[in-house]
Amino acid sequence: MALEALQRDGYLTTQLDAVINWARKNSLWPMPMGISCCAIEMMATASPRFDISRFGSEVMRFTPRQCDVMIVAGTVTYKMAKVVRKIYDQMPDPKWVISMGACASSGGMFRSYSVVQGIDQFIPVDVFVAGCPPRPEALLASLMELQKKIEKDRSIGELLHGEQLYIPETAGLAGDPKIA
Amino acid sequence: MTHEEILKRLNTAFPQSVVGHEEFRGDLSVVIRREDLPRVALFLKEDADFSFDLIVDVLGIDRYGSADRFEVVYIVYSLKNKQYLRFRVTLAEEHPAVATVTNVWPGANWYEREAYDMFGIRFEGHPDLRRMYMPEEFEYYPLRKDFPLMGIPDSLPLPRR
C-alpha cells in the first residue's frame, strides 16, 4: 500500500521512529577501539570474506566525531580506561558500545591489578560479545543484535510526545578533572 | 674469557667488592657490594679485556621475608668477547636504593624506571625516575610480594560511568 502510494503520488506515510531507526540501524559507523588481539578479528570482520559492509558498518572512522558505535576490542587497563572514556565522550549522540571479547567484557584471563574487570564499570555497554577472541561471525551477530535494539528505540518519539529528550552522559561531565 | 678469568680479574681490581658468585648451567653470576656498584660497572664497561658494552636488562627481585629483601640484577653483554655476565646487588628492606648505572650504560634508563615502578627500588642519580607502566599518582609497587594480585581497591581511579 505504502509503496503504491509512493509510486503513484510520490510520498508515503509512516512513523517517524520507524524511518529514523531504520536509517540509524543500517548505517552504524564503528569507532574501531582496537586495543589488542580482538582488533585482528575486527579487521577480519571488515574483510571481504565476512564483509561488515552488508550491515552498513564498513565505514570505520578513526575519529570519534563521525562514529555511532564504539567497538571496544581488547584488554582495557586502568590507564587506558581514561582514554576509552574520553573517546566515547567525544562521539556524538546517539551512540552505542559493543564490548568485544572476554577481556573487554570481564577482564578475561587478565585477573590482575592493572586490568579493568569489565568496561561496563565506566561506559554503558549495549552488547557483549563472548569469545577469546570472538570469531568475525560473532561480532557480526552482535551488530545484528544492536540493530534489533535500535529498531525498538523511541528515537525522537519522546520529544514529540512532550516528554523530555534523553541525552545520555551530559550531566556533570564538563569540567570533571578526572575525565578531561 | 672463562669464568675463572673474569672472577680473577674482578678480584684483582676490586678485592673487597666481589662478595660472592655462583654458576648455574654455564652462566656466571657475581654478587657485588652495593656501595661499589658504580665503580665496578664502569670498570666492566671500560676495561679493554672485559668491554661489557651492552646493557641487556636490569631487573628487581623481591625476596620477601629476608633481611636483604630486594635484589637488583644487571645483565651485560660484551660484543667484543661475545659473552654475557650477570651481576647483582642486594638491598635492605627499609631503604631499597642503589646508585644508577645510567651514567655507564645510558640504555639502563628505562630498565631502572621499570624496576622502580614495579618494586619501588630507588636508583640514586637517575636522570628521570618516573613510573613506567603505572599511572603517576599510583602509590604502590605491584610486583612486591605483599601487593595483592587484584590490587588495592580504589587505588586506580576509573572515569565515572
pLDDT tens for residues A66-102? 999 999 999 999 999 999 999 999 998 888 999 999 9
Q: Cα distance from A60 to chain B (closest Cα, Å)?
A: 25
Distance CA B122, CA B119 (A): 9
How confident is the model at residue B94, as a pLDDT? Answer: 87
Give the domains, in start order, of chain A with CATH numbers: 2-160 (3.40.50.12280)
Smallest CA–CA distance from A107 into chain B, residue: B150
**B146 lies in some domain:** no
What's the CATH code of the domain at B28?
A: 3.30.460.80
Which pLDDT band holds residue B156 (cuts at 50, 70, 90)?
confident
| Chain centre distance of CA A172 | 22
Number of domains in chain B: 1
- Across the interface, of A78, A86, A124, the residue whose CB is closest to B161 is A124
B17 pLDDT exceeds 80?
yes
What percentage of residues in chain A have a pLDDT greater than 90?
Answer: 61
pLDDT tens for residues B91-101? 998 889 999 99
Question: A143 and A137 in contact (C-beta within 8 Å)?
Answer: no
**B147 lies in some domain:** no
How confident is the model at residue A157, as a pLDDT? Answer: 52
DSSP A116: -
Q: Count Cα atoms within 13 angstroms, Cβ side, for A101.
A: 27
**B68 lies in some domain:** yes
**B101 lies in some domain:** yes
Distance CA B150, CA A110 (A): 10
How confident is the model at residue B61, as a pLDDT? Answer: 94
DSSP B124: E
List, in sequence order, every residue forming a beta bridge with B73; answer none if it has no partner: B59, B88
Smallest CA–CA distance from A82 into chain B, residue: B159
Longest dimension (CA), chain B: 64
Contacts of B148 in chain A (CB under 8 A): 113
Which pLDDT band holds residue B102 (cuts at 50, 70, 90)?
very high
B86 pLDDT exceeds 50?
yes
- Across the interface, of B150, B159, B161, the residue whose CB is closest to A113 is B150
Q: What is the CA radius of gyration of chain A?
A: 18
Within B15-96, strands assigned E span 18-24, 27-32, 54-62, 70-78, 83-91
- Mean pLDDT, chain B, whole residue set: 91
Chain A touched by B160 (CB under 8 Å):
yes
pTM: 0.79
Residue A97 in 3-state DSSP? strand
Note down the domain range covering B37: 3-124
Q: pLDDT below 70 — which residues of chain A?
A: 1-2, 155-180
What the block records as the C-alpha cell of A138 is 560473532
Instruction: Please state the ipTM of this predicted complex.
Output: 0.78
